[in-house]
Amino acid sequence: MSELTLVQAVNLALRRALEDDPSVVVFGQDVGRHGGVFRATEGLQQHFGSRRVLDTPLAETMIGGLAIGMAAQGLKPVCEIQFLGFLYPVLDNLANHAARMRTRTQGRIACPMVLRVTHGGGVHAPEHHSESIESMIAHIPGLRVVIPSSPRKAYGLLLAAIRDPDPVVFLEPTRLYRLLKENVEDSGQSWPLDRCDVLKEGSDLTLVSWGAMLTEVMEAAGVLAERGISAEIVDLITLKPYDAETILRSVQKTGRCVIVHEAARTAGFGAEIAATLAEHAMTALLAPVERVTGYDVVMPLPRLEREYMPSVARILKACRRALAWK
């Protein structure tokens, strides 16, 4: 058991998977000798050799395409796309092939691959390095989309993703990479996919979020607690397939829901959650659902990124509106 950052937990899970399963192959740009631009794969090539951990040429479409072919041949490709802004070219292979290989061959060929990508902004990164397009990916049938919010979850979820027989897009919140340490046991234990995690129980209001935004959400809940308001916090964890049950159960209890995400509002994943509530929680809702999201503008360069991303103040404002509703 050791105190690890999220990126170290990712590294540990990769190490464990490479150790346990000879079919696991890790590849991507700069993941080998360099150990990845964020050091997520640090030391892996040195330890497992360059047949298990491979540097690729600079071509994202290729990375996705290779993974599909490798997976069809019984390997477990675990590949890295350096930033979510560079995932777009991979969507073709993800949607047209990875996600549908199993069904279009009626189970003859499967596509157990994991695509790791950093997610989100707030780290003063260059243009295109701060995207959060999870809802686009989560729209694709046949995929899984997972996003951890802590080192322990990162470890367990990544193992689960690697062991899953279907293609998984694994989003790693860049802002959390080195923000916090947590005790992570290298137990080989995976964390269940497809299930939300109630981070904090509460009775007055449900806060739903995922990834790095949970930092602000937790902080907002703290402020609310000082004011005697008890917020329940749900970490979505898996966007696809997604666990509506847990959220519905929470909102049945609290009657109020604020959804927080960094991605642009329109057709963001918050819409799906709000829609689920509109369909299945009408009688329970005591106030309109609130979404606190990035604006429908291009993610700005670093100087304005904090203005773009939901702040604790904006979350609190939405909470206040939801709580004020009688």
Ligand X SMILES: Cc1ncc(C[n+]2csc(CCOP(=O)(O)OP(=O)(O)O)c2C)c(N)n1
Amino acid identity for residue 134 in this structure: E
Nearer to ligand X, 174 or 238 (CB): 174
Pick the closer one to ligand X by CB: 28 or 77. 28
- Mark residues 176-205: x for contact with a second copy by CB under 8 A, - for none: ------------------------------
Which of 105, 183, 189, 266 is in the footprint of a second copy by CB under 8 A? 266
Q: Give the Cα separation of 205 and 286 in Å (integer).
A: 10
Nearest to 145 by CA among 132, 128, 127: 132
Cα–Cα dist 324/228, whole Å = 14
Q: What is the C-alpha to C-alpha distance for residues 209 and 228, in angstroms, rounded to an integer?
A: 21
What mask, x for binding a second copy by CB under 8 A, covers residues 290 to 309? xx---xxxx-----------
Of 47-76, which residues contact ligand X (CB under 6 A)? 58, 60
DSSP secondary structure string, 190-207? PPPTT--EEEE--SSEEE
Please give the structure tokens belonging to residue 148: 């951890």
Q: Is 95 in the site for a second copy (CB under 8 A)?
A: yes
Q: Which does 252 bind (CB under 5 to 8 A by kind): other proteins, a second copy, ligand X, none?
A: none
Please choose which of a second copy, ligand X, other proteins, none residue 291 contacts, taking the beta carbon within 5 to 8 angstroms, the exact cut-off set by kind.
a second copy
Strands 231-235 and 197-200: antiparallel
Among 32, 36, 85, 121, binds a second copy (CB under 8 A): 85
Amino acid at 192: P
Q: Among positive and negative, which fits the CA dihedral 59, 148, 244, 104?
A: positive
Residues 48-77 that bind a second copy (CB under 8 A): 61
Closer of 67 and 217 to other proteins (Cβ): 67
Binding to other proteins by residue 141, rule CB under 8 A? Answer: yes
Q: d(Cα 51, Cα 135) in Å, to the nearest integer? A: 34
Q: Which residues are tagged catalytic?
A: 129
Q: Which of 5, 8, 41, 82 binds ligand X (CB under 6 A)?
A: 82
For ligand X, the closer CB: 34 or 47 = 34
- Kindly report the CA angle at 159 between 158 and 164, in degrees rounded to 5? 95
**What residues make contact with ligand X under the rule CB under 6 A?**
29, 58, 60, 82, 86
